[in-house]
Chains A and B, each alone.
Chain A
């Protein structure tokens, strides 16, 4: 019998590689009985991959897992369930057309096979929901349940199987604050019952509220494990976010123009789940400046970028580029360039060649099309030129872009978006998943554009590069701009506090920017 305090789970030297990215790099992770262990890190840090390995969805390339001191092979979720491991995934694993009860019993061997006898299961459902104070109707089809209830249902599934090791992946993403509180109370109760919980999140505040210990992951590696009680938010932020805490601040000529290239007024929009993502956002960017957007991922940055690039329709407010409304100019490469966060989905057509991707927006204009016919020689010449300029490493422009590495693919996108010398450039997480060399070149390019006179909106969760590259920094939290500061001489702790939503920190500072 495992006593409270003994490690119930040990993951040793877990390594997992995907094409182009090392998701888990020799990770050691330990979970004690009755403990709530937080797994903290940015998107892409490797937290979900690690837990998917634990739950059997993925197999590690190397490393081992020990449950209660014994080495185990977890071939799939079936074995994981048998070992008492349960997982609440980031995306709901609920069959919408089935009832709550049917979803819960899925995969659980019932009393009288092959009959689906739901009677005993229904009784157990009601008993558990009563015991844990969850209000759920077993007979309601899932598609009719509000999103918060669907989350409780996911947790109920784990209780039904009496899971001993519970993995919760970003469980508060769809919960209102009061519901999140209820969840934390539940988690603490589970821990008291002797269950062990792994709590994945990228939100510092939550971690501190619910976890006993916190392990921080970054770029597939364990940065450190700390006791939650002792950890400082800024310390955690630093562990989570900084590749190197201080990047050399780049020198630059002062901004000359006062002309506004981007004017956003009272912008409101919804995210994919239908919840408000941006609230009355106002922002002005002038020619020749880089405005960096700092903030923990998921606070509206993506939606902001999508609104500006025309991919998302705002519910209210206006966006103007060089005085013109956004809908009119979205495809005009001399006005707007956009390097999206998800280059595979929006930025590139993987089945096309490098050359074709270079002219994705401009293929119908001269000199690429003359008299209705595409001149491929012009296209290839243009592409070769851009490939040289932006150091895209590929044998020739006729190679399929899907065969390039991530860094080179990003360079293609950047090259294309900048080729029209746009007045306004929006880049969202441009260095995500890139090697050091590619990061360097992206930074140089952004600075060069700024010096040319473009306005640059630079969104990144890497605080160090935001601070190094920007002229001004705005911090986003829950769809609003918490504060705005001059990047020169900005204090990282102030920014950290703003990232956590503590607006007051600016008001208390002497000479804080408006």
Chain B
């Protein structure tokens, strides 16, 4: 009994920690679909962000700077996507797939030179756990919430900030409008292209941040393809969370739990194979999209190419 309780607690704590990258990438990533652009390149941006975080840490030895560098890397990747899809009006799926391929290739390639100066790969400095000891010792909640690196707390705060930006600012109103009806936004005198660029770039910055969280939360090492499809899980979280930053982050926790389950699969000794649990969030997403469970209200023009002349 004791043992399984400890395993459960351990799983929950791991869920939260593994959810952090998804929550961060998700809370900002949804802005790209809010403005009507499908960005499957979030996966690539996260991967590049992870490597940039490690590189930044090795070079500056400052966690904050490393994080910012990671965000910048993600943002640059997204900028390419924005340019090709918004200005050049290319197919959004194909562009995203190409970017992912590029990100995978370039990070694989730079993997060795990254650690060239070192004989053995060092673990870089991780995000610190900042909660005072007494908080960490609280039964149940302590290890799950308080014994976490500070980036997890950021992951819980950021969604609320993004929600504030989306629902409480006039810019956020414009963002919510442009993905649904870009022509209405244009006829209101606003700059549709600027809004779309902003949405995509924000998704890149958030993905970069998620990548930093992925590598600097408890690993400290970059491994090839370490995102392993988390970027796509983020996109599923958009659907489950109905493109609301707070709900998307909550969905991120769901996916994080599945992730943690996958890593702990055998040891938990479950009757049902752990793979089934890992599948569940994705099956849920399919069910939601199929309209079986509730009603998903996706931004109407996601994936469509915006042509200002075709009113």
User: A and B touching (C-beta < 8 Å)?
Assistant: yes
A114 at interface (Cβ–Cβ under 8 A)? yes
A80 at interface (Cβ–Cβ under 8 A)? yes
In the complex the two chains form, is A77's CB within 8 Å of B189's CB? yes
With the chains together, A87 CA to B300 CA distance in Å? Answer: 23
Residues on A with beta carbons closer than 8 Å to the beta carbon of B297: 97
In the complex the two chains form, is B180's CB within 8 Å of A93's CB? no
Binds A, one of B106-114, B170-178, B204-212, B276-284: B170-178
Residues on A with beta carbons closer than 8 Å to the beta carbon of B181: 93-96
A7 at interface (Cβ–Cβ under 8 A)? no
Which chain A residue lies CB-closest to B181?
A: A95
With the chains together, A242 CA to B188 CA distance in Å? Answer: 37
Residues on B with beta carbons closer than 8 Å to the beta carbon of A460: none
In the complex the two chains form, is B180's CB within 8 Å of A97's CB? yes
A107 touching B189 in the complex, CB below 8 Å, given contacts A91-B311, A93-B183, A95-B184: yes
Residues on B with beta carbons closer than 8 Å to the beta carbon of A116: 167-170, 172-173
A98 touching B187 in the complex, CB below 8 Å, given contacts A58-B309, A115-B168, A116-B168: no
B190 at interface (Cβ–Cβ under 8 A)? yes
Partner of A106, one of B167, B177, B300, B309: B177
In the complex the two chains form, is B176's CB within 8 Å of A89's CB? no
A114 touching B171 in the complex, CB below 8 Å, given contacts A97-B180, A97-B297: yes
With the chains together, A115 CA to B173 CA distance in Å? Answer: 10
In the complex the two chains form, is B190's CB within 8 Å of A106's CB? yes
Which chain A residue lies CB-closest to B166?
A: A116
A102 touching B190 in the complex, CB below 8 Å, given contacts A96-B181, A107-B185: no
Question: Which residues in window 5-51 of B have CB below 8 A to A?
Answer: none
With the chains together, A116 CA to B300 CA distance in Å? Answer: 23
Question: Which residues in window 182-196 of B have CB below 8 A to A?
Answer: 183-190
Residues on A with beta carbons closer than 8 Å to the beta carbon of B186: 57, 76-77
With the chains together, A93 CA to B181 CA distance in Å? Answer: 7
In the complex the two chains form, is A78's CB within 8 Å of B168's CB? no
A338 at interface (Cβ–Cβ under 8 A)? no
Residues on B with beta carbons closer than 8 Å to the beta carbon of A115: 168-170
How many residues on B have C-beta within 8 angstroms of the other chain's C-beta atoms? 25
* Number of residue pairs A-B, CB distance < 8 angstroms: 82
Q: Tell me how far the C-beta of B22 lies from the nearest C-beta in chain A, rounded to whole angstroms.
A: 25
In the complex the two chains form, is B187's CB within 8 Å of A77's CB? yes
Secondary structure of the A contact surface, majority rule: loop
With the chains together, A91 CA to B183 CA distance in Å? Answer: 10
Partner of A95, one of B168, B177, B311: B177
With the chains together, A92 CA to B311 CA distance in Å? Answer: 10
With the chains together, A307 CA to B184 CA distance in Å? Answer: 32
Residues on B with beta carbons closer than 8 Å to the beta carbon of A95: 176-177, 180-181, 184-185
Q: Tell me how far the C-beta of B122 lies from the nearest C-beta in chain A, rounded to whole angstroms.
A: 43
Partner of B187, one of A79, A87, A105, A109: A87
A52 touching B311 in the complex, CB below 8 Å, given contacts A98-B173, A113-B170, A114-B171: yes
Residues on A with beta carbons closer than 8 Å to the beta carbon of B183: 93
Residues on B with beta carbons closer than 8 Å to the beta carbon of A78: 189-190
In the complex the two chains form, is B189's CB within 8 Å of A93's CB? no
Partner of A96, one of B171, B172, B180, B188: B180
Partner of B189, one of A81, A94, A97, A110: A81
Question: Which residues in window 60-99 of A have CB below 8 A to B?
Answer: 76-81, 87, 89, 91-98
In the complex the two chains form, is A102's CB within 8 Å of B173's CB? yes
Partner of B173, one of A58, A80, A87, A105: A105
Question: Which residues in window 241-271 of B have CB below 8 A to A?
Answer: none
Q: Tell me how far the C-beta of B180 lies from the nearest C-beta in chain A, rounded to whole angstroms.
A: 5
In the complex the two chains form, is B177's CB within 8 Å of A98's CB? yes
Question: Which residues in window 134-189 of B have CB below 8 A to A?
Answer: 167-174, 176-177, 180-181, 183-189
A55 at interface (Cβ–Cβ under 8 A)? yes
Residues on B with beta carbons closer than 8 Å to the beta carbon of A109: 170
With the chains together, A92 CA to B188 CA distance in Å? Answer: 12
With the chains together, A114 CA to B186 CA distance in Å? Answer: 20
Q: Tell me how far the C-beta of A122 lies from the nearest C-beta in chain B, rounded to whole angstroms.
A: 14
With the chains together, A108 CA to B190 CA distance in Å? Answer: 9
In the complex the two chains form, is A114's CB within 8 Å of B190's CB? no
In the complex the two chains form, is B169's CB within 8 Å of A114's CB? yes
With the chains together, A115 CA to B190 CA distance in Å? Answer: 17
Residues on A with beta carbons closer than 8 Å to the beta carbon of B189: 76-81, 107
With the chains together, A79 CA to B181 CA distance in Å? Answer: 20
With the chains together, A281 CA to B169 CA distance in Å? Answer: 54
Residues on A with beta carbons closer than 8 Å to the beta carbon of B171: 114
Per-position 1/0 for A101-134, Cβ under 8 A of B: 0110111111001111000000000000000000
Per-position 1/0 for A441-466, Cβ under 8 A of B: 00000000000000000000000000
User: Which of B167, B174, B188, B300: most chain A CB closer than 10 A?
Assistant: B188
With the chains together, A113 CA to B189 CA distance in Å? Answer: 17
Which chain A residue lies CB-closest to B311?
A: A57
Which chain B residue lies CB-closest to A87?
A: B187
In the complex the two chains form, is A97's CB within 8 Å of B176's CB? yes
Which chain A residue lies CB-closest to B178?
A: A95
Residues on A with beta carbons closer than 8 Å to the beta carbon of B174: 106-107
Residues on A with beta carbons closer than 8 Å to the beta carbon of B311: 52, 57, 89, 91
Question: Which residues in window 213-237 of B have CB below 8 A to A?
Answer: none
Q: Tell me how far the C-beta of B218 lies from the nearest C-beta in chain A, rounded to whole angstroms.
A: 36
Q: Tell me how far the C-beta of B187 lies from the nearest C-beta in chain A, rounded to whole angstroms.
A: 5
Which chain B residue lies CB-closest to A108?
A: B188
Residues on B with beta carbons closer than 8 Å to the beta carbon of A92: 184
Residues on B with beta carbons closer than 8 Å to the beta carbon of A91: 311
Residues on A with beta carbons closer than 8 Å to the beta carbon of B300: 96
In the complex the two chains form, is A106's CB within 8 Å of B169's CB? no
Question: Which residues in window 9-31 of A have CB below 8 A to B?
Answer: none
With the chains together, A76 CA to B167 CA distance in Å? Answer: 27
With the chains together, A80 CA to B181 CA distance in Å? Answer: 20
Which chain A residue lies CB-closest to B170?
A: A116
Q: Tell me how far the C-beta of B307 lies from the nearest C-beta in chain A, rounded to whole angstroms.
A: 12
Which chain A residue lies CB-closest to B299?
A: A97
Residues on B with beta carbons closer than 8 Å to the beta carbon of A108: 188
Could you give 6 example pairs across A and B, Cβ below 8 Å? A55-B187, A79-B189, A89-B187, A106-B184, A108-B188, A115-B169
Measured CB to CB, the residues of B under 8 A from A are 167-174, 176-177, 180-181, 183-190, 297, 300, 308-309, 311
Measured CB to CB, the residues of A under 8 A from B are 52, 55, 57-58, 76-81, 87, 89, 91-98, 102-103, 105-110, 113-116
Apart from A57-B311, A96-B180, what are 17 other A-B pairs with CB-CB below 8 Å? A76-B186, A79-B189, A93-B183, A95-B176, A97-B176, A98-B180, A102-B177, A106-B188, A106-B190, A107-B185, A107-B188, A107-B190, A114-B169, A114-B170, A116-B167, A116-B170, A116-B173
